[in-house]
Amino acid sequence: MTTYGERLAAMNKAHVWHPFTQMKDYNNSEPLIIERGEGIRLFDMQGRAYYDGFSSVWLNVHGHNVPELNEAIADQLGRVAHSTLLGMANIPAIELAGKLAEIAPQGLTKVFYSDSGATGVEIALKMAFQYWHNRGTKGKTTFATMNQAYHGDTIGAVSVGAIPLYHETFRPMLFPSRVIPYPYAYRHEGGEQGAMESTLSALRQLLETEADRIAALIVEPIVQGASGIIVMPPGCLREMAALCRKHDVLLIADEVATGFGRTGAMFACELEGVAPDLMVVGKGLTGGYLPVAATLATDKVYEAFYADYEEQKTFFHGHSFTGNPLGCAVALASLKLLEERRMVEGVEAKASFVARKLAALNDRPHVGEIRQKGLMIGIELVRDKVSREAYGWTERIGVRASLRARELGMLTRPLGNVIVFIPPLASSEAELDEMTDILAASIVHAT
Ligand code: PLP
């Protein structure tokens, strides 16, 4: 007699193709099948508890099975689960758009819904492209992006992505983008200052020579996520935004990972007083509950599309589930909790606590750099601390550390040699204490 758990494991192996996963490795490993969640913990089918140390891929905000969020969905479910935004509206979608316009950086007043970060990025790219087209400006058809950028996995998002491991295979399918260096201070001989100068001078040079061909610059503000939680030097984003403004190139802020408090501000752009032309949000928008994303635009962008139909300026884009009422209802409830519980304001104290705890790891021989902005933390492990020589990617040092963390009761997913710690905003100090202990023990074990 096989158990239900065993049958599920066999079905998982037979039928589920997992994202970003070499299935040969996966099928040879012990599957983790989550059954339920409570607070910031997830429980597997055997009842084992795990801290959600990466917020289920950087999106969970308030923890799991949160009564207020469950109720918001149930309440909306009793009204209507879905109706289209094609030529009609629904109540939660309207209310959420109003709320987003209220809390977003200045000037972002229009909200276009989608269902994942990648689709939100596609929308921003198409909007920026068509913005220039509608205004009759010829030739601004290329995008600028940053080295090692990650904006999602659809073709447009991959075209402005610059992580060779993920993106290179698809190169023949992609449109070319202009790539400028990301300020990766730890691996720049000039440190923070030098890294920032390299970025700014490359952007300056690009815009001085090619601004007439560039529709927009897309950037992960303050923290570049998938490349290894790399934090920009202070002032860099502000300077980049100013250069875009000066050269009449739109700025797209991809706040999919950084939005909704993760960095200690509601949106990372706010940390440098930057108001982008387009902003993409996803992940934490619904507290991490349902797949809703949004692309916010300024009046200036919107007005370029606002015309008589015959002028052919309509934005012909949409998804079946655009503006889904269940998703919008839970997003509203999540934003309400963020406000009522003053959670964004609370990030600073939690982040300082984590920083103090992790500082002890600096003495460890293979800890190269601990990077942190708010509750986004990446710990880069190196083979040699002095020369900063990296571990080879086949050594899978990050995987080893995260497997150990799982044995010790915390889930996280590494980015190459970088151990990621992005706990839900709702984590208490006691929980952060335990999670950072597990993190440290797993790093010690792996190195
Ligand atoms: N943009 C950024 C900065 C991200 O970190 C991600 C996902 O990690 C995305 C876009 C893509 O979001 P999604 O996975 O929801 O498509």
Mean pLDDT of the chain: 97
150 among the known binding-site residues?
A: yes
Instruction: Answer whether 0.95 is exceeded by the pTM.
Output: yes
What average pLDDT score do residues 409-419 get? Answer: 97
Which of 278, 310, 340 is the last residue in one of the domains? Answer: 340
340, 356, 378 — which closes off a domain? Answer: 340
Query: Across residues 163-182, what is the average pLDDT?
Result: 96
Q: Domain end: 307, 324, 340, which one? A: 340
365 and 423 share one domain:
yes
Quick count: other Cβ atoms within 10 Å of Cβ 389?
Answer: 11
Residues with a CB atom less than 6 Å from ligand 1: 116-118, 121, 150-152, 220, 225-226, 254, 256-257, 282
Q: How does pLDDT run across 287-299, given as a tens digit for each residue?
A: 999 999 999 999 9
Residue 80 forms part of a structural domain: yes
Sign of the CA dihedral with 171 first, then 175, 177, and 182 last: negative
In this structure, the answer to whether residues 134 and 152 fall within a common structural domain is yes
Q: For position 44, which CATH number holds?
A: 3.90.1150.10
Q: What is the pLDDT of residue 204?
A: 98
- Residue 97 belongs to domain spanning: 70-340
Joined tokens for residue 439: 């993190």
Please indicate if the annotation marks 242 as binding a ligand: no
229 in a domain, yes or no?
A: yes
Task: Please give the average per-residue pLDDT across 78-100, as a whole number.
Answer: 98
* 267 and 389 belong to one structural domain: no
In a domain, 1, yes or no: no
State the Cα–Cα distance between residues 1 and 396, nearest whole angstrom: 37
Complex ipTM: 0.99
Tens of pLDDT along 23-73?
999 999 989 999 999 999 999 999 999 999 999 999 999 999 999 999 999
Question: Do the domain assignments include residue 215?
Answer: yes
Distances (CA, A) of 137 to 99, 129, 244, 312: 33, 10, 16, 15
| Same domain, residue pair 317 and 367 | no
59 CA distance to ligand 1 centroid (A)?
A: 10
Task: Answer whether residue 131 is part of any domain.
Answer: yes
If one counts the domains in the chain, the total is 2
- Residue 387: left if φ>0, alpha if ψ -120 to 50, beta else—which one? alpha
Do 208 and 284 lie in one domain? The reply is yes
Please enumerate in sequence order all residues whose Cβ is within 8 A of that of 373, keeping only pairs 6 or more positions apart, or say none. 222, 223, 231, 263, 264, 268, 351
> Do 215 and 74 belong together in one domain?
yes
428 and 316 co-located in one domain: no
Burial 215-253 (b: 16+ CB within 10 A, else e): bbbbbbbbbbbbbbbbbbbeebbebbbebbeebebbbbb
Distance CA 88, CA 252 (A): 28
Q: Residues 346, 336: one domain?
A: no
Is 318 in the same domain as 348?
no
Q: What pLDDT is attached to residue 270?
A: 98
Asked whether residue 19 is domain-assigned, the answer is: no
- How distant, in Å, are the alpha carbons of 126, 354, 360 from that of 382? 40, 21, 17
**Residue 154 domain flag:** yes
What's the mean pLDDT in 90-95? 98
Is the pLDDT confidence value at 1 over 80? no
Q: From 115, 116, 151, 262, give the residue whose CB has the most ligand 1 atoms within 8 Å, as the site to mutate.
A: 151
Closest C-alpha residue for ligand 1 atom 13: 117
Query: 79 with 46, same domain?
Result: no
- pLDDT band with cut points at 50, 70 and 90 for residue 79: very high
pLDDT of residue 419: 97
pLDDT digits (tens, 9 = 90+) for 422-432: 999 999 999 99
CA distance 296 to 64: 27
pLDDT at 322: 97
Residues 272 and 140 in one domain: yes
In this structure, are 391 and 415 located in the same domain? yes
Handedness of CA 447, 32, 151, 299 (dihedral sign): negative
> What's the confidence (pLDDT) of residue 394?
84
In a domain, 410, yes or no: yes
- Burial class of residue 69 (count of CB atoms within 10 Å of its CB; 0-12, 13-18, 19+): buried
Work out the burial of residue 4: count CB atoms within 10 Å of its CB; fewer than 13 is exposed, 13-18 middle, 19 or more buried.
exposed
pLDDT at 393: 78
